[in-house]
Amino acid sequence: MIFERKKFFDLTAYRLGRFYDATNLAVYFFSLHDIYIDSAQSLMQKKFREIAVKDKPDFCLLTHYHEDHAGNAPLLKSLCKTKIVAHKKSAGYLNKQFKMLPYEKIIWGRFQPFEPDLYYNREIFDAKGHKFKIIETPGHSEDSVCILDTDRGWLFSGDLYISSKPKYLRKDENIYEILKSLKVVSKLEFEVLFCSHKGILEKSPKKLIYAKIEYIETMIYNTRKLYKEGFSPKKIRDILLGREGMTSYLTYLDFCKINFINSILKDEKI
């Protein structure tokens, strides 16, 4: 079991996971005592419960509906009467049993449907004296948001960042929307990036965002160039990203390299 805790001023970053220490297999949620950002995966509910009963948060702000971010929200509602806040587009996923692949259930646990208490109806969400700016950042999912603590310049980025040079993409992700969202975030003023899979990134966080933008733009240019030269998507994958690894096959090609290439070529005739 992975359990790590790191203090950063009055914030605590908790990292939870059941499997080996890999970036994508453990998840951070962030606690400001009475406010949580995300709620981790239900598979880690026992450890999450131990933390939550001490904090008794009044609010939990979700960055998106995925099971590793909203997994323990139902527990917070029943255990601590926590108000769960989400994007309106999250509702259709959170209030029913959305489809999960076998690998997702193994890594994150099953998802229990629930109704959010509040939605991000305004650009600024005020909670317990904290003013959070809600920035819509679709691409990873249609309901993804980044949450900016405007007073301190802390940006909670959900799954928007993770890596400056990603090689894998989920089948339902849109690389062009991700690029657009990264450009929106790059114009914000923030000093620290809180990533749900990398934790607290203090050193030049905006440079990390710029680096990912440049990488994706280069990938788009090279992919399109090779496609016009007659290379197939699989051959382009092999040239730019290499062949599929174990991750691809363990996820039944739901999270794989060819999805990255296909997302770039989605408007081309493949």
**Residue 140, both tokens:** 């990873």
Average pLDDT per consecutive 10 residues, the chain (270 residues; last block may be shorter): 93 89 83 95 96 96 97 97 97 90 92 95 88 97 97 97 97 97 97 97 97 98 98 98 95 96 84
Task: Kindly list the strands in the beta sheet with 192-195, ordered across the sheet, starting from the edge strand earlier in the chain.
Answer: 124-127, 130-136, 145-149, 154-158, 192-195, 199-201
Residue 158 pairs in a beta bridge with: 195
Q: What is the H or E stretch that residue 107 is in?
A: helix 102-108
- Compute CA 92 distance to the chain's CA centroid, rounded to the nearest angstrom: 18
Helix or strand or coil: residue 109?
A: coil
Q: At what angle do helices 257-264 and 233-240 cross, to 10 degrees?
A: 120
pTM above threshold 0.85: yes
Cα distances from 248 to residues 89, 157, 178, 244, 270, in angstroms, run: 28, 25, 20, 6, 21
What's the pLDDT at 1? 81
Other Cβ atoms less than 10 A from the Cβ of 220: the count is 16
Domains of the chain from N-terminus onward: 2-205 (3.60.15.10)
Half-sphere exposure of 192 (CA within 13 A, CB side): 14
Residue pair 10/42 in contact (Cβ under 8 Å)? The answer is: no
What's the pLDDT at 269? 57
What's the pLDDT at 22? 66
Distance, in Å, from the CA atom of 66 to the CA atom of 39, rounded to the nearest integer, reads 10
Which residues, other chains included, contact 247 with Cβ-Cβ below 8 Å and sequence gap of 6+?
Answer: 168, 255, 256
Distance, in Å, from the CA atom of 112 to the CA atom of 95, rounded to the nearest integer, reads 9
